[in-house]
């Protein structure tokens, strides 16, 4: 396993490119985000995505979310209305997962029964640099862990998951899930409240639990 320590304030492009090369070769990597350390791979490589599902023990009926480096990139993989674009421009990059109608660019394995996808643009320079360097979306899911536990220490992740291909180490992260907002219709709907604040989101519909 390759473990690279990266300064998140001034990420080294050459270091990040090494990890992007591993992803291109089908590797599984752990990388920092603004919410958690994420486990991911190239969304366009089916075998790699299957490995993530196996590691997580997830049902294929529950598609994984993915990371794009910017708003412009999102439009390749989702149908973005003017209202959705204005909202995303306000809150992204940030600690949000946005649910949108999927475009034809998205592999079938990544699409839900309702033909939607979950997309992130994290407020973390290393994550966005990695996605931009790879030039493909990166699968994002939490690192496999005991129930109700989120790993915050990359050293512990390396110790528990030695079969990973690479880890980008940016030090400790206080884990907190992203806020999930459904933008498949013109009125935004809160699916899960997480790290991303919702006070400034107009007309937000909050589902009753």
Please tell me the total number of residues recorded for the chain in this structure. Answer: 209
The pLDDT value recorded for residue 144 is: 81
The pLDDT value recorded for residue 146 is: 72
Cβ-contact 27, 165 below 8 angstroms? yes
Long-range contacts of 154-163 (CB under 8 A, 24+ apart): 154/3, 154/30, 154/37, 157/30, 157/37, 158/1, 158/3, 161/30, 162/1, 163/1
Q: Which domains does the chain have, with CATH numbers?
A: 2-206 (3.90.870.10)
Tens of pLDDT, residues 125-182: 999 999 999 999 999 999 887 766 778 899 999 998 888 999 999 999 989 999 999 9
| 32 CB-side CA count, 13 A | 26
Tens of pLDDT, residues 41-68: 999 999 999 999 998 887 777 889 999 9
Edge-to-edge strands of the sheet including 96-101? 2-5, 166-169, 29-32, 37-40, 138-142, 65-67, 116-120, 96-101, 179-182, 189-192, 205-206
Tens of pLDDT, residues 178-205: 999 999 998 999 999 999 999 989 889 9
Mean pLDDT of 25-46: 95
The pLDDT value recorded for residue 85 is: 94
CA distances (Å), 168 to each of 38, 92, 165, in order?
Answer: 10, 22, 10
Q: Could you tell me the pTM of the whole model?
A: 0.93
Q: Is 109 a residue whose pLDDT tops 80?
A: yes
Q: How does residue 209 score in pLDDT terms, banded at 50, 70 and 90?
A: low
Q: Is 207 a residue whose pLDDT tops 80?
A: no
Tens of pLDDT, residues 116-126: 999 999 999 99
What gap in Å lies between CA 139 and CA 201, rounded to an integer? 26
Tens of pLDDT, residues 3-22: 999 998 899 999 999 999 99
């Amino acid at each position: 396993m390759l473990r690279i320590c990266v300064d998140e304030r001034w990420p080294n492009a050459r270091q990040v490119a090494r990890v992007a090369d591993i992803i291109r070769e089908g590797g599984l990597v752990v990388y920092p985000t603004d919410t958690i350390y994420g486990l991911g791979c190239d969304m366009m490589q089916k075998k790699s995505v299957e490995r993530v599902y196996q590691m997580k023990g997830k049902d294929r009926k529950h598609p994984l979310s993915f990371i794009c480096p910017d708003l412009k990139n999102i439009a390749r993989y989702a149908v973005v209305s003017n209202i959705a674009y204005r909202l995303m421009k306000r809150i992204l990059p940030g600690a949000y997962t946005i649910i949108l109608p999927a475009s034809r660019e998205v592999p079938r394995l990544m699409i839900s029964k309702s033909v939607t996808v979950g997309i992130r643009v994290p407020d973390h320079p290393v994550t966005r640099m990695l996605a931009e360097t790879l030039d493909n979306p990166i699968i994002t899911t939490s690192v496999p862990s005991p129930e109700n536990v989120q790993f915050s220490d990359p050293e512990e992740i390396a110790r528990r998951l030695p079969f990973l291909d690479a880890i980008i180490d940016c030090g400790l992260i206080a884990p907190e899930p992203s806020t999930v907002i459904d933008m498949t219709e013109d009125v935004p709907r809160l699916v899960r409240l997480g790290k991303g604040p919702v006070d400034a989101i107009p007309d937000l519909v909050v589902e009753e639990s």
